[in-house]
Structure 1
Amino acid sequence: MTDRAHPDAISLVESLFDQGTFEAWDDPVGWEPADPGYRSSLARAHERTGLDESVVTGSGRVSDVRVAVVVSEFGFLGGSIGRSAGRRVVAAIERATRERIAVLALPASGGTRMQEGTAAFLQMVAITGAVNAHKAAGLPYLVYLRHPTTGGVFASWGSLGHVTWAEPSALVGFLGPRVYQGLYGEPFPENVQTSENLHRRGLVDAVVPAERLGGLVGETLAMLSSRVRGPGGTGKAAAGPISERSWAGTAWEAVLATRARDRPGLSEFLATDGTVVLRGDAPLWLALHGFGGNPAVVIGHDRRKQAGGELIGPVDLRVARRGMAMASDLGLPVVTVIDTPGAELSVAAEEAGLAAEIARCTAELVSVPVPTISVLLGQGAGGAALALFPTDRRIAATDAWLSPLPPEGASLIVHRDTDHAAELAADQGIAAGALYADDTVDLLVDVTAPDGMTRLRSVIAAELTSGPTPSDACRTRVPGGGG
């Protein structure tokens, strides 16, 4: 049985792959339990679903890109993972690793199969090991969380994706609601274990209907596979970087310019055919973009979300760190885009570890073993800006700025009023021109010109072509560090 919102395994496979390309990988189970009651349950599950286990594996083409799949069938004993199902998952991931193709995992499961106890429980370790080896081989591991995904499946192979999508209104969580109610005598709170809530919490990149999944997977894999065509770019920018003298205003005027409502931001920067947005509709985006043919992981601030009151918090910085880990696994450059009035200042952010997330994000960006470029696109206030700034190469908009606090905040600390904000902006050397003069940034580009974003992408493409190799990237130049 299936429905449009929550299709079963076979329906999902049929809708996902290019017609006639799917090849099943499943060998017969070849094992029968001693317990007659369990044997009867397996027989009924087989009769109901037409399958011999709770997972289907194989490979095929999605938008003509080959990919392996592991698909749960919830109708077979709740999609639970026993020894045979676990071994089937491991075998599929290991085969995909040998054949050097991506894996798309589509779990829908209640978790470990209780009839098999600890032996089934430990399959989660084996599956996790196979996923880790696949990622260590530099191969993509993508996840689509289906309704429902709970227990050990969510706590292992359901939570290890480079990219994680989820069905709308799917139940996704560690502790099953029935178990919670049985243990505590009350229902689990509503709207917590949902795909939409996990998206808000940064644990799911996007909530996607099943009928859109194939297109999104195809776009993502096409972008990731484009690197095999060799380095892109022209070797130099189509219209070269310009000097700090092109900005004639004061530092305070630059601050005001970057706050203008109609100023271009991250969405304009990524508004090309060469972009796959993995996580959008949030203060911090995660995307793949091809710069002159070179795919890169883009981690950037959305100025409009922040202007609406959604500031950068611990969740966003964890997403940024996940983007860096994905880039490291897949050997892709990282491009960060900085445009923020500052991080969220609240009790909730403090208790969720905002300062620690800023520290971890900064530390991981400094040490990530791939080429890195930061773009100071507009506002650059506080730790939310600093966390994305220390890269191998740094580009700034001619009127951008970087400071420990917005100038008004600095004025409050020094003068106990905001009247000296313009004076502090000048004295602190926050403007892009001053940052260029002291080698804190390497290049300046006028992004407000009619072709500004095109020029900026061209400069990045040239930098990725002629910039540091992955082995050099771990020696990131630290701001203020003397080289």
Structure 2
Amino acid sequence: MNWISNVVRPKLNSFLNRREVPENLWVKCPETGQMVFHKDLEANLHVIPGSGYHMRMEPTARLRMMFDGGTWYDIALPAVAADPLKFRDEKRYTDRLKDARTKTGAQDALKVGYGKLEGLAVTIAVQDFGFMGGSLGMAAGEAIVTGLETAAARGTPFIIFASSGGARMQEGILSLMQMPRTTCAVQELREARLPYIVVLTNPTTGGVTASYAMLGDVHLAEPGALIGFAGPRVIEQTIREKLPDGFQRSEFLRQHGMVDMVVHRHDMRATLARLCRLLTRAPAAEAAPTRHEAPVAEADAAAPAAPAAS
């Protein structure tokens, strides 16, 4: 027996040719510790099957879930100054932006789309917590204002899925200015007598809660979402009292009148479609279309997004 040929070489080959297994094939439930295969989680709209815990959804998946046929038009968003204050803490703001863009594949924390929801034209914006905590800066403010103006110009309801830690500190006062700007844009939509519906997802806090996230005609929330201005730990340290169980969670806010409905993600599409029809007095849809119908004469304001893969 040749020890080098029969033992050492096969072991070296097996070690060198070992296949790398991706680390994100399984997702752990933050509440129960249940492990879920990532394909099963995606098929269940990122809701843990056993516990019902709502994981975060990235904007493209959220828009695909909402629009008929999984297709829509991406609304072109204005460009803004990348680093107006030349901000630097542990690293430069430009480097943080570059890292976030590489990680998410997006230019900033908001994505806006236009399409059909059960046959009714709607404009939808989605905030991405994965992009610097969904923070509200100049780019996000411009995206919201553009989305609201687009909805007003086209006569559609405007739906926003809010998810943010608050204003973006790297932009200082310029980020805080987006709070009144978005408030004024909401008022313009209201003057056009068009619905503004806010869906609060986990988490929605800080300056976002203090502005456009609490100005909707109807406020929906996903189960278990953290919603508030300051976090519960900060409040406890300030008032030096123990907060009630479930404080600042969507179910608690529903009980105290700050949220109209707590809606499971599986029911979100049908609920929003029903609300949009009710608020616009549109006739009920006979059946949800199976394919996206391209709007007429929209090419100058929006670019078509690729259809979702089945």
TM-score over 0.5 (shorter chain): yes
Structure 2 counterpart SS, 1:19: helix
**Cα-to-partner distance string for 1:80-113 (whole Å, 9 max, x where unaligned):** 1011111111111012111111100110001111
AA of the residue aligned to 2:64: E
Look up the match of 2:213.
Answer: 158
Poorly superposed stretches of 4+, deviation over 2 Å: 1-4, 26-31, 176-190, 222-227
Q: Does 2:66 match 1:12?
A: no
Matches within 5 A, 1:115-154: 115-154=170-209
Look up the match of 1:104.
Answer: 159
Rounded to whole Å, the distance in 1 between the matches of 2:103 and 2:245 is 31
Contact 2:87 2:171 in 1 (8 A): no
Look up the match of 1:23.
Answer: 73
Matches within 5 A, 1:370-389: none
Report the CA distance shift for 1:122/1:28 in structure 2 as closer, same or farther (over 3 A). closer
Structure 2 counterpart SS, 1:212: helix
Structure 2 counterpart SS, 1:60: strand
Structure 1 regions of 5+ residues with no counterpart?
230-272, 275-483
AA of the residue aligned to 1:35: F
Report the CA distance shift for 1:205/1:225 in structure 2 as closer, same or farther (over 3 A). same
Contact 1:55 1:73 in 2 (8 A): yes
Structure 2 regions of 5+ residues with no counterpart?
1-23, 25-41, 48-53, 286-310
Computing the radius of gyration from Cα coordinates, the structure with the larger value is 1
Rounded to whole Å, the distance in 2 between the matches of 1:182 and 1:56 is 36
**Cα-to-partner distance string for 1:168-224 (whole Å, 9 max, x where unaligned):** 000001112454467678886541101001100111111112221111111122233
Look up the match of 1:35.
Answer: 87
Structure 1 counterpart SS, 2:212: coil
Report the CA distance shift for 1:187/1:71 in structure 2 as closer, same or farther (over 3 A). farther
Aligned residue pairs total 230
Contact 2:226 2:248 in 1 (8 A): yes
Normalised by the length of structure 2, the TM-score is: 0.68
Structure 2 counterpart SS, 1:95: helix
Normalised by the length of structure 1, the TM-score is: 0.45
Shift of 1:165: 0.6
Contact 1:97 1:139 in 2 (8 A): yes
Structure 1 counterpart SS, 2:276: helix
Rounded to whole Å, the distance in 2 between the matches of 1:169 and 1:203 is 14
Larger RCO: Structure 1 or Structure 2 (Cα < 8 Å, ≥ 6 residues apart)? 2
Shift of 1:35: 3.4
Which one of the candidate residues 174, 181, 195 is aligned to 2:229? 174
Report the CA distance shift for 1:60/1:154 in structure 2 as closer, same or farther (over 3 A). same
Report the CA distance shift for 1:219/1:9 in structure 2 as closer, same or farther (over 3 A). same
Rounded to whole Å, the distance in 1 between the matches of 2:237 and 2:75 is 39
Contact 1:145 1:167 in 2 (8 A): yes
Shift of 1:126: 0.4
Report the CA distance shift for 1:87/1:204 in structure 2 as closer, same or farther (over 3 A). same
AA of the residue aligned to 2:248: Q
